[in-house]
Amino acid sequence: MNAQDYKLAVFGQPVAHSLSPRIHRLFGEQLGIDVDYAAIESGIDELPERLASFRSEGGTGANLTVPLKPAGLKLCARVDRPARQAHAVNTLKLAADGWHGYNTDGAGLLLDLDRLGIDPAGRRILIVGAGGAVAGILGPLLAREPDCVHLVNRTADRARRLTDKFAHLGSIDGGGFDFGPGERFDLVIQSTSAGHASERPPLRREWLTETAIAYDLNYGAAHEPFANWCRNNGVSVHDGLGMLVGQAAQAFEIWTGRQPRITPVMTALARA
């Protein structure tokens, strides 16, 4: 394949900091595929025009990041089931009838959990936050048949509204941080953006079992406040870099038909 066959980009605002161009170039090197991948700044209002321009210049696939995932859904001729469930797309592939939309966030999380040896099946899972990232992971996560999932969020109604949308898929409920769980959780997934402001959500150690594992959808500096809490409370914790690479690997397979390995890419990113 040559660069023109896979002209790709990530759209978002802000997007200059995105690791996606580097990740997909590393995937291409791993599989011997020449990838042309750019980062394109776009707000919600500009997205239709920017995507049309990208397509006219030979664009064949794209990623959407904050704040464009819900808006991208409206621009697709077809969307996959995870995207419909999440009401958001993060991956676009050009087809004869227009853009086809996918949401690879949940698949990326599960790919990383598998890499870490963390099986959601039968677990009691506490998810902190009820935003778009959680909407993207709930469907695939519930498909692994955990014992139960409980969402806790600063705005309790938002957690309840989100859990209502997924109640038909498994045992799931939600509420605010004032809840008193009857049983403790053995896996906690932190999804809030509090770490970007050097803060963390008001978790309580007594909500978790002695051997609980924590997973943060954030990575880098945004991961540190939650990671510090986990270390201070004796909770094993993993950051979300593996999920980022995992969801990118799923997107790369959608575009090229070939799925790259995520561990070599994570190693290269860590060295950088």
Q: Which structural domains are found in the chain, ordered by start?
A: 3-103+247-271 (3.40.50.10860), 106-239 (3.40.50.720)
- Contacts of residues 2-6 at CB distance under 8 Å and 24 or more positions apart, as own/partner, are 2/34, 3/34, 3/35, 3/36, 4/36, 4/58, 5/34, 5/60, 6/33, 6/34, 6/35, 6/36, 6/37, 6/60, 6/61, 6/255, 6/256
pLDDT band at 181 (very low <50, low <70, confident <90, very high): low
Q: Which residue has the tokens 């809030």?
A: 192
User: Is the pTM above the cut of 0.75?
Assistant: yes
Residue 272 to residue 266: CA distance in whole angstroms: 10
Cis peptide before 67, with omega less than 30 degrees from 0?
Answer: yes
Q: Tally DSSP H helices, then E strands, for the chain.
A: 10, 12
Taking Cα atoms as reference points, which of 246, 129, 107 lies closest to residue 176?
A: 129
What is the per-residue pLDDT for 132? 84
Structure tokens at 187: 């896996």
pLDDT of residue 42: 96
Per the CB < 8 A criterion, the answer to whether 259 and 110 are in contact is no
Can you tell me the distance from the alpha carbon of 139 to that of 120, in angstroms, rounded to the nearest whole number? 13
98-101: long-range contacts, CB 8 A cutoff, minimum separation 24: 99/51, 99/75, 100/76, 101/72, 101/73, 101/75, 101/76
Contact in structure between 221 and 194 (CB atoms under 8 Å): no
What per-residue confidence (pLDDT) applies to 3? 41
Quick one: how far is CA 51 from the chain centroid?
22
Using 50, 70 and 90 to split pLDDT, how confident is the model at 2? Answer: very low
CB of 185 closer than 8 Å to CB of 179: no
| Structure tokens given for 15 | 């997007």
Q: Which helix (H) or strand (E) holds 265?
A: helix 263-271
Count of alpha carbons within 13 angstroms of residue 232, beta-carbon side? 9
Please indicate whether residue 69 is annotated as part of the active site: yes
Q: What percent of the chain has pLDDT over 70?
A: 98
How would you classify residue 90: left for phi > 0, otherwise alpha for psi between -120 and 50, otherwise beta?
Answer: alpha
Q: Which of 69, 74, 93, 165 is catalytic?
A: 69
Which pLDDT band, with edges at 50, 70 and 90, does 79 fall under? very high
Q: What is the mean pLDDT of residues 226-252?
A: 96
